[in-house]
Structure 1
């Protein structure tokens, strides 16, 4: 946990935009409004959208901009309480029992009190997110909630209602200050309305061409401007055709970085064919573009950029 002061929360939507932009996250007005209101109302943010549109990066940008710790709970199928909330350090407990036996300590109650104490408690992300005395409330990222099952979702609903966890051996641990909660989902399944009702909702979409170009300029400053414009125009057109998985912003950044490393200053058919694995992640999509489709898209891109001057 950080041992320094956190930065103040933004007072306006414009300050929220600036806060995120300071961490190279370019947020539209509607997203910045949701973030601002969530911070002021102390409500979780529920961010839904395709993979790769930047949902996770919002939590990272907030943590850096506000100078708060970032606690990340990466969700997956089969996630349980021991992995998400807490568990006991059994090897250390066994060692304590052996030492007690060796020292002749027979008081069962004293042994149990020693075993189930804070020093044997392993804090997992949910418990860490409740914070520690004297420390700023962290940003709690619950990433890809749709990957968990409904039972864990129901447990999480209880946690988010009161920001507390009850440990039978220790009692109830409650957050002195609610964490800043960011929940993301790729919508592989629907999340129950009861949880959504406790959150402020926003659909995070792919950026438009102007916004994506500015992202590239910030994230890959070494890329030639003409190359960046061609990359953005090409990717924007890819998202308009029927692909199995559209490239996200992260893939756009990776592609621009790769092409810069190859000292390219413009797109050409051969380079695109050689580097498509940086941009697309499914063989069916790559195979489709390795026909004449990619050449047609590139031709359209160059013609449109030339016409635009």
Structure 2
């Protein structure tokens, strides 16, 4: 953390949030910028929910870059506990010290006349071995004790158990944690905390109350086109528009997993590598594995593409107002609002 400035940037306005994030190639609307601005002014965590691949994790990375702060990331998973998230004792080091200090321990216990008295003597000295010298800091404790407030990313919190959620409540409320052997450790410089959830399960009301909430969904065509321009500059304007139109239409199909923003960018870069001047059905079929990861999803997309008169007609209505092959291929409009 020594490489980061002690002053770390604070935002003076909502527009500055947008400008600084844009400087990290992160495109956001005023709604998102407002939540970030308020969270930093109020020292509140942000809970970002939405499908995988809409920019939740990237928000934390971009915010760290925009504010010149370190990013500390905790990837959540089933069975995650305090030892991996908060702290654990360095038992090997403790054992080594007991071996080295064996003679001294013998001197301390020498005058004792009973086992009970010896145990009491040891209890009086146990803070020697359960001190910060033997404490291994995990991501949450690192964020609390850092002199420069970092951005702490608790990624995919919905994958962790409800017990872990309960453990987080003290930290999210007061930016402090309780360690039985040491006491309460409170942050002097609260970190910026971002929790992400793919909504694989409902999070507790207690956790939600402690956070500002931000809902992210797939971006609309204009925003996604801007992202492609920023992060895949080798793609020509016409091809970029075709690609985004196709991605937007694919997301309306009833798929197990719709293409993420990252997969849109992978596809764009792949087309640059292939030197593709435009998208056609054959090229979509040949490169579909870049954006679609499940066989049944691929079959649905291919059926839809093969039924369209032209790949550029994906997502566009014909003169009768009907979608191409709407009767033949079942389509389900996404209920998501396309905002980023």
TM-score (normalised: structure 1): 0.91
Confirm whether residue 239 of structure 1 aligns to residue 251 of structure 2: yes
CA displacement at 1:293 relative to structure 2: 3.0
Equivalent of 1:123, from 115, 120, 137? 137
Query: Within the alignment, does 1:222 sit opposite 2:223 as a pair?
Result: no
Distance 1:87 1:62, change over 3 A: same
Bigger drift between 196-205 and 269-278 goes to 269-278
Alignment match, 1:298: 311
Shift of 1:291: 3.2
Inter-partner Cα distance in structure 2 for 1:104 and 1:117 = 18
Match of 1:272 among 284, 287, 296: 284
Residue in 1 aligned with 2:331? Answer: none
| 2:106 is equivalent to residue 94 of structure 1 | no
Aligned positions of 1:44-193 closer than 5 A = 44-101=45-102, 103-106=103-106, 107=108, 108=122, 112-132=126-146, 135-193=147-205
Deviating more after overlay: 265-274 vs 50-59: 265-274
| Residues 178-234 of structure 1: per-residue CA shift (max 9 Å, x gap) | 111111111111111121112111111111111111101111112222221111110
Q: Shift of residue 120 of structure 1?
A: 1.8
- Which blocks of at least 5 consecutive residues in structure 1 are unaligned? 305-309
C-alpha separation in 2, matches of 1:178 and 1:193: 23
In 1: Cα distance, 2:92 partner to 2:280 partner: 59
Alignment match of 1:200 (pick from 212, 218, 222): 212
Q: Does the aligned pair in 1 maintain the 2:250–2:301 contact within 8 Å?
A: no
C-alpha distance after superposition, 1:120-173 (max 9, x if no partner): 2111111111033xx221111111111111111111112111211111222221
Structure whose residues are more often helix by fraction: 1
C-alpha separation in 2, matches of 1:35 and 1:148: 24
SS in 1 for 2:77: coil
The answer to whether the aligner puts 1:23 opposite 2:24 as a matched pair is: yes
Shift of 1:292: 5.0
Contact 1:269–1:295 (CA under 8 A) maintained in structure 2: no
Q: Which residue of 2 aligns with 1:307?
A: none
Which deviates more from structure 2 when the two are superposed, residues 178-187 or residues 266-275?
Answer: 266-275
User: Which residue does the alignment assign to 1:33?
Assistant: 34
Counterparts of 1:153 and 1:109, CA distance in 2: 33
Tell me the alpha carbon deviations over residues 265-307 of structure 1, each in whole angstroms, 9 at most, x when there is no partner: 2212222222211101211111222335356271414978xxx
Runs of 4+ in 1 over 6 A off after TM superposition: none
Asked if structure 2 preserves the Cα contact closer than 8 Å seen for 1:142 and 1:183, the reply is yes
Computed over aligned residues only, the root mean square deviation of the Cα atoms, in angstroms, reads 2.0
CA contact (8 A) 2:158 2:201 kept: yes
Contact 1:68/1:137 (8 A) holds in 2: yes
Question: Which deviations, in whole Å up to 9, do the C-alpha atoms of 1:100-129 show, x marking residues without a partner?
Answer: 22x554334686344222232111111111
3-state SS, counterpart of residue 46 of structure 1: strand
CA distance in 2, matches of 1:38, 1:205: 20
Q: How many residues align?
A: 301
CA contact (8 A) 1:239 1:246 kept: yes
Q: Is the 8 A contact 1:53 1:206 kept in 2?
A: yes
CA distance in 2, matches of 1:165, 1:7: 24
Alignment check: 8 A CA contact 2:47 2:211 kept: yes
Question: Matches of 1:268 and 1:76 in 2, distance apart?
Answer: 41
Shift of 1:59: 0.8
